Structures are given as structure tokens and as C-alpha cells.
Structure 1
Amino acid sequence: MLGRLKVLATTGATALVGALLGLGAPARAEAAVPDTIPLEVTNNSARGEQLYLYDIGTFLATGQQGWADANGVFHPWPAGGNPPTPAPDASIPGPAAGQSATIRIPKFSGRIYFSYGRKLDFRLTTGGLVQPAVQNPSDPNHDILFNWSEYTLNDAGLWLNSTQVDMFSVPYSVGVRRADGSTVSTGRLKPGGYRAVFDALRAQPGGWGGLIQTRSDGTVLRALSPGHGMENGALPGSVMDDYVNRVWQKYAGTTLTVTPFGDQPGTRYYGRVSGGVMNFTDASGAVLTSFQKPDADSVFGCHKLLDAPNDAVRGPISRTLCAAFNRSTLLVNPDQPDATAANFYQDSVTNHYARIIHDRMADSKAYAFAFDDVGNQESLVHDGDPQRAHLTLDPLDQQPS
């Protein structure tokens, strides 16, 4: 039961943020970033239940895992057990509907969780914190309406994003106020967008409506990401096979050019399929890395056969491939990454979950899969001298029927 849940052993609470956001960090901040900054939480959800907040992650000064209280004071987790033991109550009472409250967040790589009506159930194992993993029907948090934002605050500034990498659930937006007084924000849905996402998933043939999880009282809780949906049988394992096969056939006779670094246009890698394997070479023709034909799980999760190590060659190529497979741009453009958003998700075989979410976002930005930042499509705000962060819990519209 709990042993199947996702365990945070290092900075995995924000593997997405910690690994990706650091790539764009300036070498030094324009001004000294304080040890904590204020985070204003505004509850525009129109829901009457008690709201609970959590700030959990890795304390960057020491590398310890733990949580922060409302004043930004860090508390390390105690030792866990096997089976997992209950974690200390790290909840912070959130503002009532229509109200705002300000907490302070420390230099973390972590998550801001929020839940409606019930506190989240966190456990500790000998390997670290057990995060909610609601693709598991036995997860104690399965029937709780909740979501989270991811952030990294360090000496180079703040990176704060909304995320749908694991699931799409109660809506929110994030923002940061800069030293000049301006505010930048992202993550807000179009009016009616929350309901529209679920309605569009239900209307999409092929099992996509099976990603939706509903509580016994009729409350729609979330839509799982397609990778997690495959785990519980909502989507068939063959859901991407037709597209992948067509890609492999195309690049058996055509060269795929990958230029993974926007600031290094001269760094290019060339892919061709031979013997069922896509080999990437440099300009001299030397093979640098190779990829087996990926399955849907590798595509949706950007892992396994599309693993992306933190190196200078395979990781950047894999990130580019992952984005291109999820957006289905490989058949229309042999030069990747494709910067033309009009080309995204146009094939009938695509990541419809990502397509639907991006289409319903007010600024079209989302983190609908792990490397959705390729081409700057991610819902992320960053500032090197953050004065104040914002997390706004938005209305759920009318609950989907």
C-alpha cells in the first residue's frame, strides 16, 4: 500500500524545478536574496472548506529534507520507518474564501501544497518523505481535493511554477513582484477553463476520459497525467505506437537535426534510424548517443527509453525528443525543437492531456509534461531579486458533471 507511493529521497520534491530551473539561473543575483521572502496566498476558490497549506522540500543551506512553518522557519523531518511512519503535522491554516494570508518561504527546493477540507497524510520512510501519489487508489490522499506548486528559492532568485506534470486539479496561478514594483504571473485558466479541461478529456476518444478521478460524493478530484493513467489502465500502453512507428519510418530515410541550446545555434546533433535504433552523430559523423524506439510510458514520462541525464549531449537531445513526441511535431519538422506553437498537437496521435490543458490556459503556458519548458512553453515565473511571491487559488467554475 504505502510502499507503492512515491518517495522523496533527495531534492525530488522539485526534480522538475531543481534540475531544469537551475540551468537558467544567473551566476549571481543582482541583489542579495534574503533568507526568506513573503508568499501571499489568496483564496479565490469560492469553496467554504478549511484550507491547509504546506511548504515542504530540501533546505538548500544544509541539504536536509523538512518543512517550513508560516514564519519560514525550517524543521527537519525526523527519521522514518518501514512501514512508513506518520510525519509531523506540517500544515499551516490557510485563508478563508475571499481572504488572503501571507507566509514566509525559505531557501528551499520544494513544493507548496494546498488542500481543501482535510489535511494531507504525509509519511516518512527510511529513505525520506512519502509524497502523495494518487494514481494509487490506496493512497490515503486519494479522496482529498488538493494540488501543489513547485519552487526553488536560492541566492540567484526565485523560480516558481504551476504544474500539471502529475495531475490536473484545483486551479491556481503563481506570480512574483519585482524590485521595480511590477508583477509577472502565470498559470491562470481561461474563464470556464477548469470545467472545459474535464469536458474535453471526456470527449476525446481512446480512453482519455478515464484519466478523471471522482469522489463518491460526485466531486471531481483531478485528471491524472497520461503516464499515471497508464499505470491504472485508463490508457492502453499502445496509445502512442502509431505515431512513434511513423517517426521511426520517416527518420530511416531523413535526418533529424536537433539544436538543443537556444544560445548555442552552432551545437547540432544529427539523428538517423538504422537497425531500429536512432543514432545521433556530430558534424564529423561520430555516434554520440543512441535511442531505442520509445514506448508511450517513455514519451509521457520523459524517462526510461528517453532518459535525460544531466550531461551535455544525451540529456539535451532527449529533452528535445521528449517535447517533440508529446507535441507530435517530428513528422512536420525535421529541425527540432520546433518553435512554432501552431504545429503542436496537430496529429491525431498526441498527448491530448497536454494539448487540452495548454489550450485552456489564459497565456497558453503549462507544465503538462516534464520537459514542457523546451521552447519556453512552461508556466514559470522567475526573478533574481524577488520582493514577494503570490499564489492565487482560483475558482473551480461549476464542477464538471
Structure 2
Amino acid sequence: MRAKKLLAVLAALIVPLAIPAPALAIGPSVLPVTVTNSTGRGDATYLYVIGVNTNTGRLGYVNQGGTFTPWPAGSIPPSPAPDVAIGGPGNGGNTTINFPRGFSGRVYFSFGEKLKFFLTPDGLVQPAPWADGDANQNILFDWSEFTYNDAGLWLNSSQVDMFAVPHAVSVTGANGATSRTGAVVADGRNNVINGIKAQSGWANTVYTRSDGTVLRVLSPGKAAGAGKLASGYLDPYISWAWNQYTGKTLTVVPFGDQPNTKYYGRTSGNVMNFTNSAGQQVASFNKPSSASVWGCDGDLPAPNDQVVGPISRTLCAALNRGTLGSIDTQPSTNAAEFYQSNPTNQYARLIHANMADGKAYAFAFDDVGNFESLVHDGDPRSAGITLSPFSGGGGGGGGGGGGTGNAIISDWNGKCLDVPSSNFSDGVQVQMWGCNGTGAQKWNAVGGALQTSNNMCLDVPWGSTANGAIIQIATCSGNPAQQWVLSGAGDLVNPQANKCLDIKDWNGNDGAKAQLWDCAGSANQKWHRG
């Protein structure tokens, strides 16, 4: 029992809901994933790819090349697992790992010290730093979660258990489009930590190492379980919200694509009963404890069915966001109405408030209403994890910090030319993103070229002079494809092509691509240096 209390045994990883696979495999058999370190920290880093082979059900690990190996047998007491660490990137660098198709698990990243994993006859014992005595409690680390199968890649940044190393995730599909999420705003990590410390009763949820490094903020469920947060913290709000439905009806519409599927809840005593549109009772829930709300379990069980589970997920999200009781049709999808209750989930509130796009996985069902930090592509070609700055510059599209140089800003929409997720690799296509002062948006004029903060150059692939040629970064070579002149009229011209840097399709959104196009004097071709 002691081992179970101190250590979390991997029985099943957090993965997306069951996803139907197409008949034919899509995406490469091994998917490259670039891990970029923009934290600003000088520690050595270590990566681990662990999880389950979804074709065989075997638990194991993946090496840097993407080869899966099952774990050896464990013992009681738990025996040390083999050292399967992959050397990670130093600050400003990147390391490519590979996901084999048919694998679901986690990518762990640790700083300064390798993680300690153990094996029991039941499987892998993963780090549980919220438990006293855990071998990894004084190590700075975090993880992303993913599933890669014939239906594509799902990759998310998770804060369900703790907030430690903020990181952005991205995926690029066969069509060249890149989706990304999870980046923090400028100084986002410090904002979350300091914001939590400022909340009455929450300061002990922040864990600081003896050298002064803040290692993590525990989620409220983990903190309460460790005695770091009052166990009944949310109870007053839960009771108030539950009792509202003794005199009015709660309407749950759990499926965004099925607006006519509705369930109706009324409270009797401590029980909320739900009926369907035909008046038949389909589910009942006891008034949940704070622990049940934090964990979205216990009194809020969520079986993988089409009725009880979806209702429970909706209730859990509404209670975490503080909208149950005041908003009577759920889920509520207006983020401006979230976290207004007293008390409320301050952890989730502060994490979402410090995300560049407002999205995070701050509790188990934060995906209700699509507020989760998840990327998916059904036909992926590559993916990325960017470890965001610990202080200073924010994540935005880049996630990189600091750097020298100036921004290149669109006169039309005020957005900046940006290197996605601070991935300074050959061939990365640049984009437009809200200006955030990060190294991903700093450009130096050197010998007629525009160089990034780590000395890659703005480039037209293969020296193309065609309209619509993409704009990328590449190793600086001095060739004419990397020469740019910012005219007095605000045109950014490639003299070899005698064409201008142009925001493709007049797309004003974050993530819009840049291209080469005939100079037309139009607003989407006008630039200035910041």
C-alpha cells in the first residue's frame, strides 16, 4: 500500500477518446518531432518517450529513432527501470525524436538531472512529485501527451497534474499547414506562479527547490491530496450551484454537432437527476465533493458512453469554470464568464489567462467547449514541442525568448514576421503572428540578408522568382535568394525576383503565411521595422 500511495503506476495513459481508424495508414510510419528549448535555462536536458504500443497493448519506451521496446518485468518493491533517456537540446537548440505509428504516451523532458522510473509486475511507475518521498520531487520536469495512429496525431500540453515547464505543441500536415497551441504570453510562467502565490490559501501549492528554483505549481486536486490546499476548498460554491436546480432546470447539450440532443437536470436533496427529451430518467449524480470536481471522477463518473459520460464531463467543466448555477444551459462557451464564482479554480483561471491563445489542459475535461491545448492532424508529416521561456519574452507563435534584432511589422495589421514555435531549422516556413518580443520575431540586417536571432536567413526556396513562392528560413549562404531591401515606401523586396514580401490571401489571422508576389503597393505588402 505504501508504494501505491507514493508512486503512480502506469496502467493507462491519458489519451484522446476512442477514434475510428481509417482502412489505410496515413502519415509516415515514424513521425519526426522536433523538441526546441527556448527556456533560457543552461541545464542539460533529457527526453523520454514512454507509453503503450496500441497494436499489441504492451507498455514500453521508444528510442530516438522511433523503435519501440517493451519494458522488462518489474518487481515488488519496484525495481529501477532501464535508463532510456534521450539527450535533449540545450537552450536555443533543438533535438528531433520520432513517434512510431501505433503508439500512445508521453514525452517527458527534465532539466539538470535524469528522471527516475521504476517497474512493478503491473507496469511502469511514473514520477509523482506531489507525493512525499517521490524520487523525482526535486527535479524540474514536465511532459506532453500524444497518440499517433492511422487516424493521425493528437498532441497536447498538459497541466492536469501540475504546471512546471510551459510548452507549445504543433503539427504540420501533408498540405503544409501548421497548427500550434500551448504557448504562454510574455513572462507567462512567472505570472502563473506569482498569481497563485497571491491567492489566499494557495501559496503552498507552489513547490520551490532549495536553490530557489520554482519547480512546479500543483493542480488543486494533487495539492489537496498532499495537504497543500484545503480539501473542501470548492465545497461552498458546489453546494450553492447544486441547490440552484431545486427550483429551475439545467439543460445540458453535450454534443456541439448534435444541438437537438439535450438532457434536463433537477436537484432533489443532494441528487441531481437527468431526463431526456422524452422525459425518461437517464442519469443521476450525487452532489460532488471538491475532490470529485478537481479530478472529474468520484461523484462525477464519466464512462465512455453516449449519455452519462457526456453529461458528467459537462458538469465537471462547468463546476471547474464556476458557471454552473448561474448559466443554465451548459456547456457555456463564453470564456469571459469563466472563473467568476467565489471560490473558484484559481489554478485553471491563471493558466488560461497566461496562454497566448487562451487554451490549456488545466483540468481533466478542459476540452469541453474546445478550450484545450491540443493539436490534431489526420495526415501529419512532422510535429514540434517548444519549451517556452521561463521569464521575459512570451510564446505567441514562436515561444522563443529574447534575442537581438528588430521586428518586421506589417503596416496593414500590425502583426510580426515570425518563426513558428522558435523552430530555427532549415526549411521552416515563416508566418505572421501577434507581436510578442520573442526571439522568433527578431531580425538582423546583415550584408543585405535578414538573419534570425540564431543566424538563419530569410530565404526564397531554390531561388524561385515565381508568384506564390513560399518564404522560409535557411542556413545563410549569401545567395541572391536571401537578399532583401526595405524601400522607403515600405516594400520589402527580393531584388533577384524584383518581387515583394506579401501576406498570402490577405489573411489577417495569426499563422498567416508570407509569400513572394509582384509588387503592387498594396497594404498587405507594406512593412516597417519595430
C-alpha change, 1:35 and 1:235, in structure 2 (3 Å) is same
Secondary structure class of the residue paired with 1:244: helix
Between the two structures, name the one with larger relative contact order (CA 8 Å, sep ≥ 6): 1
Report the Cα distance in structure 2 between the residues aligned to 1:363 and 1:204, rounded to whole angstroms.
24
1:44 aligned residue: 38
Give the aligned partner of residue 126 of structure 1: 121
Residue equivalent to 1:74 = 68
The equivalent residue for 1:137 is 132
- Is 1:196 paired with 2:179? no
* TM, length-normalised to structure 2: 0.72
- Deviation, structure 1 residue 218: 1.1
Deviation at 1:266, TM superposition (A): 1.2
Q: What is the CA–CA distance in structure 2 between the aligned matches of 1:231 and 1:270, rounded to whole Å?
A: 33
In the alignment, structure 1 residue 149 sits paired with structure 2 residue 177:
no
Q: Distance in 2 between matches of 1:145 and 1:237?
A: 26
Are 1:212 and 2:206 counterparts?
A: yes
The 2-side partners of 1:255 and 1:288 are apart by 15
Aligned residue runs from structure 1 range 289-304, under 5 A: 289-304=283-298
Q: CA deviation at 1:99?
A: 1.2
Q: CA deviation at 1:27?
A: 4.8
Q: Would you say 1:60 and 2:61 are equivalent positions?
A: no
Distance in 1 (CA, whole Å) between partners of 2:164 and 2:255 is 32
Matched position secondary structure for 2:340:
coil
Q: Among 346, 359, 369, which residue is 1:365 paired with?
A: 359
Residues 29 and 156 in structure 1, CA contact (< 8 A), matched pair in contact too: no
SS of 1:52 mapped into structure 2: strand
Contact 2:21 2:149 in 1 (8 A): no
Equivalent position of 1:252 in the other structure: 246
Structure 2 unaligned residues grouped into runs of 5+: 393-530
Amino acid at match of 2:176: G
Secondary structure of 1:148's counterpart equals strand
Shift of 1:282: 1.1
- Partner of residue 341 from structure 1, selected from 305, 325, 335: 335
Q: Do 1:244 and 1:294's aligned partners in 2 also have CA atoms closer than 8 Å?
A: yes
Structure 2 matches for 1:87-126, cutoff 5 A?
A: 87-107=81-101, 108-126=103-121
TM-score, normalised with respect to structure 1: 0.94
In the alignment, which residue of structure 2 is the partner of 1:323? 317
Find the partner of 1:226 among 220, 227, 235: 220
- SS of the aligned residue for 1:374 comes to coil
SS in 2 for 1:181: coil
Alpha carbons of 1:224 and 1:29: their partners in 2 closer, same or farther (altered >3 Å)? farther
Q: Percent identity?
A: 55
Q: Which consecutive unaligned segments of at least 5 residues does structure 1 have?
A: none
Structure 2 SS opposite 1:300: helix
Q: Distance in 2 between matches of 1:248 and 1:92?
A: 49
Instruction: Measure the CA separation in 2 of the matches of 1:135 and 1:101.
Output: 29
Tell me the alpha carbon deviations over residues 119-144 of structure 1, each in whole angstroms, 9 at most, x when there is no partner: 00000111111111111020000000
> Partner residue of 2:374?
380
Q: Identify the residue that residue 175 of structure 2 maps to in structure 1.
A: 180
What is the deviation of 1:30?
8.6
Indicate conservation of the 8 Å contact 1:211/1:234, yes or no. yes
Distance 2:59 2:317 in 1: 31
Q: Is 1:32 paired with 2:33?
A: no
Within the candidate set 150, 155, 163, 1:168 is matched to 163
Q: What is the Cα deviation at residue 194 of structure 1?
A: 0.5
- CA–CA distance in 2 between the matches of 1:276 and 1:95? 53
Greater shift in the superposed pair: 234-243 or 254-263 = 234-243
Residues 152 and 158 in structure 1, CA contact (< 8 A), matched pair in contact too: yes
The Cα of 1:284 is off from its aligned counterpart by: 2.4
Distance 1:91 1:31 in 2: 29
Aligned AA for 2:234? M
**Equivalent-residue separation in structure 2 for 1:336 and 1:350 (angstroms):** 17
Distance 1:30 1:190 in 2: 40
Give the counterpart letter for 1:117 in structure 2.
G
Structure 1 residue 29 displacement after superposition: 7.9
Question: 1:116 & 1:214 partners in 2: Cα distance?
Answer: 15
Amino acid at match of 1:3: K
Aligned partners of 1:223 and 1:364: how far apart in 2? 18
Change in CA separation of 1:330 and 1:383 when aligned onto 2, cut-off 3 Å:
same
Distance of 1:47 and 1:353 partners within structure 2: 24
Aligned equivalents of 1:390, 1:377: Cα separation in 2: 20
| 2:12 counterpart of 1:6 | no
Change (3 A) 1:81 1:215: same
**Contact in 1 for aligned 2:266/2:274 (Cα 8 Å):** yes
Q: Which deviates more, 89-98 or 222-231?
A: 89-98
Give distance in 1, aligned partners of 2:25 and 2:65: 22
Greater mean deviation of Cα atoms: 370-379 or 95-104: 95-104
Distance 1:77 1:306 in 2: 34
Q: How far, CA to CA, are the matches of 1:101 and 1:312 in structure 2?
A: 41
Which stretch shows the higher mean deviation, 263-272 or 67-76? 263-272
SS at match of 2:265: strand
**Once the two structures are superposed, what CA deviation does each residue of 1:93-123 show, in whole Å capped at 9, x if it has no partner?**
0122111121211131100000001000000
Residues paired across the two proteins, number: 389
Distance 2:343 2:24 in 1: 45
Contact 2:158 2:360 in 1 (8 A): yes
Alpha-carbon distance, 1:247 to partner: 1.3
Question: Which residue of 1 is the match for residue 232 of structure 2?
Answer: 238
Task: Check conservation: 1:51, 1:114, Cα contact below 8 A.
Answer: yes
Distance 1:112 1:53 in 2: 7
Partner of 2:405: none
What RMSD, in angstroms, separates the aligned Cα atoms of the two structures? Answer: 1.3
Residues 30, 385 of structure 1: 8 Å contact kept: no
